[in-house]
Amino acid sequence: MGLESQIKLPVIEFSEENLKPGSSAWASACIEVRRALEEYGCFEAEFEKMPRRIHDAAFAGAEELFRLPTEVKMRNTSTKPYFEYFGQYKTLPLYESMAIDHPTSLDAATNFTNLMWPAGNDRFRESAQSYSELVTELDRTVARMLFESYGVGYYHDYYSKNTNYLLRYIKYNEPEMEQSNEGLLPHADKTFFSIIHQGKVSGLQVKVKDDQWIDVPPSPTSFIFMAGEALMAWSNDRIASCYHQVILKEKGTRYSLGTFSFITGTVHILEELVDETHPIKYNPFDHFEFLHFVKQNLGTNSNPCLIKAFSGL
């Protein structure tokens, strides 16, 4: 066995028991979440509360969505940077994606659905909403656990009130013989949290200690939580953003669902996270101004960590 196969992502189980704030199971999950993020920048959440039918309906929705003609998919536009349709890139020929801004909101989910299917598609709309209800609830729980473990549980209120969630449907065609199997180049997200849920076909790899890439196998109840650059700054560099990529080694079209959290307004650097061993590294910043900055400064082929350039001290 090679060294690589020995490293596995930390797995944290979210069960009825530890989802209860204040319980002793909750308290140990808080510690596990913080440890995993500080050590790996990511972890696998085993979320048994995700019903199989919601998982299946969300991926059936993805397949239906990508069957639409390209000109219809391109109606998915936004004034927010990185919230729109992506695809038809020469450098990433296998990749295509679309995104719903505020996917838990009935109005937003309906608007997106009607844009794609002018005659409506209740099944799709309902699947997007019920999937994201559960995932965003899990996100708020994980965030609260992390905040509590740093002794800043009060930040949960601000986070929950000001998160802007984005649900992205992602598709990768199977590479042809002569094509590269690179689905998505190495990068760190510009989010607070990113939660990746893979369909049947694997491909996600995350970079861990010693620059090793490890495969993350899919499962209907497994959600990969990754720290984005906003969380890295918020944590005053206690947590590093997670580098990841997609390599298509398995047969078949690959689908994945990304739930991304952004803060509407200021990301604070809390004084509780500053001490002698962690001197302050960032100025507070506006998350969406950061995204605009990224859009202006990101080259097409490289993906540097930009939060330091934007708000580093």
Ligand X SMILES: O=C(O)CCC(=O)C(=O)O
Cβ distance to ligand X smaller for residue 145 or 224: 224
The reply on whether position 246 binds ligand X by CB under 6 A is yes
* Residue 28: CB minimum distance to ligand X, A: 29
Instruction: Say which entry of ligand X, Fe ion, none residue 246 contacts (CB below 5 to 8 A, set by partner kind).
Output: ligand X
Question: Any idea which residue has 């940077």 for tokens?
Answer: 81
Q: Which of 236, 256, 259, 261 binds ligand X (CB under 6 A)?
A: 256
Selected binder of Fe ion within 189, 206, 235, 257 (CB under 5 A)? 189
Q: Is 109 left (phi over 0), alpha (psi -120 to 50) or beta?
A: alpha
Is 248 among the residues that bind ligand X (CB under 6 A)?
Answer: no
Among 258, 307, 310, 311, binds ligand X (CB under 6 A): 258
CB of 187 to Fe ion, least distance (A): 6
273 scored as a contact of ligand X (CB under 6 A): no
Structure tokens at 91: 């450098």
Taking the complex as a whole, the smallest distance from the CB of residue 249 to Fe ion amounts, in Å, to 18
Residues 122-181 that bind ligand X (CB under 6 A): 168, 170
DSSP string of the chain, one letter each residue: --SGGG----EEEE-TTTTSTTSHHHHHHHHHHHHHHHHHSEEEEEETTS-HHHHHHHHHHHHHHHTS-HHHHTT---SSTT-S-EE--SS-TTEEEEEEESTTSHHHHHHHHHHH-TT--HHHHHHHHHHHHHHHHHHHHHHHHHHHHTT-TTHHHHHHHHEEEEEEEEEEPPPPTTS--EEEEEE--SSSEEEEEE-SS--EEEEEGGGEEEE----TTEEEEEE-HHHHHHTTTSSPPPPEEEE--SSS-EEEEEEEEEESSEEP--GGG--SSS---B--EEHHHHHHHHHHH--SS-----HHHHHB-
Residue 204 interacts with ligand X (CB under 6 A): yes or no: yes
Among 244, 247, 263, 281, binds ligand X (CB under 6 A): 244
Distance in Å, CB of 250 to ligand X, minimum: 13
Q: Tell me which stretch binds Fe ion (CB under 5 A): 40-48, 49-57, 154-162, 186-194.
A: 186-194
**Under rule CB under 6 A, how many of the chain's residues touch ligand X?**
11
Q: Using the rule CB under 5 A, give the single segment among 95-103, 187-195, 216-224, 233-241 that binds Fe ion.
A: 187-195
Among positions 19, 143, 166, 184, the unique one binding ligand X when judged by CB under 6 A: 184
Site for ligand X, residues 100 to 119, rule: CB under 6 A: none
Placement of tokens 């309902």 in the chain:
126
- Stretch near ligand X under the rule CB under 6 A, chosen from 152-160, 196-204, 273-281, 302-310: 196-204
φ/ψ of 285, rounded to 5, equals -145, 165
> Residue 121 or 256: which CB sits closer to Fe ion?
256
| Closer of 235 and 256 to ligand X (Cβ) | 256
Q: How far apart are CA 116 and CA 212, in angstroms?
A: 40
Q: Shortest approach of Fe ion to residue 305 CB, angstroms?
A: 13
Tokens 């999950």 sit on residue:
29
Instruction: Say how far apart CA 33 and CA 22 lie, in whole Å.
Output: 15
Q: Which is nearer to ligand X, 147 or 243 (CB)?
A: 243
* Site residues for ligand X per CB under 6 A: 168, 170, 184, 189, 196, 198, 204, 244, 246, 256, 258
* Site residues for Fe ion per CB under 5 A: 189
